[in-house]
Amino acid sequence: MASQRRLNMTTRRQALASLLLAAALPTARAQNVSKPWPANRALPPLAATDLSGKAWDLAPLRGRAVLINFWATWCAPCKEEMPTLQTLAELEGERLAVLAVNVREPLPRVRRYVQASGLSLPVLPDPKGEITRAWGMTVFPSTVLIDTAGRPRQTITGAADWTGAAALDWIKALGPR
């Protein structure tokens, strides 16, 4: 009987802790850190093929602002921000190239997620993490913003609402609209 009470108390404490944690998560996920791209760091190359077979390279994108998002399907904050990235891409049209680099996941898993979510952004698989390492990304999601002259401006670490005021200010700062 006493052991049953202890088990019930433990279960209740765990349930309460889970509820408190779940209530705190949306706030934690909404936070992000914006840092300028290091002045002494060159822009790494980006040569990749998206899920539909189209080759992507930064050179032909010069003249357009570019947003490169590093994400994974196992990353809840990554999946949380994806719809706002999609909306941003639709709103900005040709003025902004939004590329989603999927980090170290099997291609079938990435394709299933893209199909199930209805995502239409160019998704660049990085199954071995080579692109991600070259860009120095270790936290997901992370996003690099590149201006219309092809210069990296800043890195956003953590999930962002890409339709919110702060994100729209970041995009405006990338060049003429």
Whose CA is closest to 154, among 165, 164, 169, 140? 169
Q: State whether 15 and 74 are in the same domain.
A: no
| Domain CATH code at residue 37 | 3.40.30.10
pLDDT tens across the length of the chain (177 residues):
554 444 344 434 443 333 333 333 343 345 799 999 999 999 999 999 999 999 999 999 999 999 999 999 999 999 999 999 999 999 999 999 999 999 999 999 999 999 999 999 999 999 999 999 999 999 999 999 999 999 999 999 999 999 999 999 999 999 986
Helix (H) / strand (E) containing 12: helix 2-30
**Domain presence at residue 177:** no
3-state secondary structure (DSSP) of residue 72? coil
3-state secondary structure (DSSP) of residue 101? strand
Q: State whether 7 and 18 are in the same domain.
A: yes
Whose CA is closest to 163, among 69, 71, 89? 89
